[in-house]
Amino acid sequence: MCAKKHDLIHDTSHISYETLLEGNKKFIANAIEEDPDYFTKLANGQKPPILWIGCADSRVPANQITNTKPGEIFVHRNIANMVIHSDMNMLSVLDYAVNVLQVKHVIVTGHYGCGGVIASMSNQQFGLIDNWLCHIKDVYRLHASKLDLIENEKERADKLVEYNVVENVYNLCKTSIVQNAWSKGQQLGVHGWVYSIETGVIKDMNVSTYNNQNMGEVFKFK
């Protein structure tokens, strides 16, 4: 017998406000059992080598899918992992990560099946978020000649997810924060990944860069 669609969705009905607090107690007990000094070490400060700019989707937790621990990845998340030059939240996180924490890598990580990307492909209005989705629509516009050739809607959405990551890596490189770090000789790599929720595999989009040499001249700061 075929499973119904709702049967395939992870059951979260058991999660409540109270279960979160109980979960915290279990987390503390397990952490201390494994390492009695766990929280003492964490409280001493953070020096993560990675800034992760990812989607707010609850199924894409940075530490779990990279098998890293608290303190090893500095994380910023928003709808569809966007790097928007007027977003003071993102810019503040980026500035702190690059100039204070001195991270070595910034990774823009999207994921297939992204609701924000899929929503941007429609003509439907969703509310306030429409203003945010316009940035993804601009990505579609840039690559429309290729995207419009893809008849399968899921495949077209997956390709837009990839293009969205690539364009936001480029947007990241255009920020004065990243370019100033490069001009000072700071070791900083910018990368783009796409995560598959269906398989758990991360795809490297092979757009890594460590300087502004591949950028258009108009975007380069002197």
User: How many whole angstroms separate alpha carbon 210 and alpha carbon 167?
Assistant: 16
Residue 77 a catalytic site member: no
Mean of pLDDT values over 39-68: 96
Local structure of residue 209 (DSSP, 8 states)? B
pLDDT band at 135 (very low <50, low <70, confident <90, very high): very high
Residue 59 a catalytic site member: yes
| pLDDT (0 to 100) of residue 7 | 53
| pLDDT (0 to 100) of residue 8 | 57
Would you say 125 and 72 are in contact if contact means Cβ atoms under 8 Å apart? no
Mean of pLDDT values over 195-212: 96
pLDDT above 60 for 3 = no
pLDDT (tens digit, 9 = 90+) per residue, 65-107?
999 999 999 999 999 999 999 999 999 999 999 999 999 999 9
The catalytic position among 114, 135, 158, 173 is: 114
The catalytic position among 59, 85, 130, 141 is: 59
User: How many whole angstroms separate alpha carbon 36 and alpha carbon 40?
Assistant: 8
| pLDDT (0 to 100) of residue 222 | 72
Would you say 163 and 184 are in contact if contact means Cβ atoms under 8 Å apart? no
pLDDT above 50 for 6 = no
Residue 134 a catalytic site member: no
User: How many whole angstroms separate alpha carbon 204 and alpha carbon 141?
Assistant: 23
Residue 55 a catalytic site member: yes
| pLDDT (0 to 100) of residue 2 | 44
Dump the DSSP string for 61-103: -HHHHHT--TTSEEEEEETTS---TT-HHHHHHHHIIIIIS--
Cα→Cα distances 89→53, 83, 86, 175, 181, Å: 12, 10, 9, 14, 19
The catalytic position among 55, 77, 135, 191 is: 55
pLDDT band at 221 (very low <50, low <70, confident <90, very high): confident
pLDDT band at 11 (very low <50, low <70, confident <90, very high): confident
| pLDDT (0 to 100) of residue 5 | 46
The catalytic position among 35, 95, 105, 111 is: 111
pLDDT above 50 for 183 = yes
Residue 87 a catalytic site member: no
What are the sequence ranges of the domains in the chain?
15-45, 46-219
The catalytic position among 57, 76, 135, 173 is: 57
Closest by CA position to 110, among listed 207, 222, 31: 207
Looking at CATH, the fold of the domain delimited by 46-219 is given as Beta-carbonic Anhydrase; Chain A (3.40.1050)
Helix, strand or coil, per DSSP, at residue 15: coil
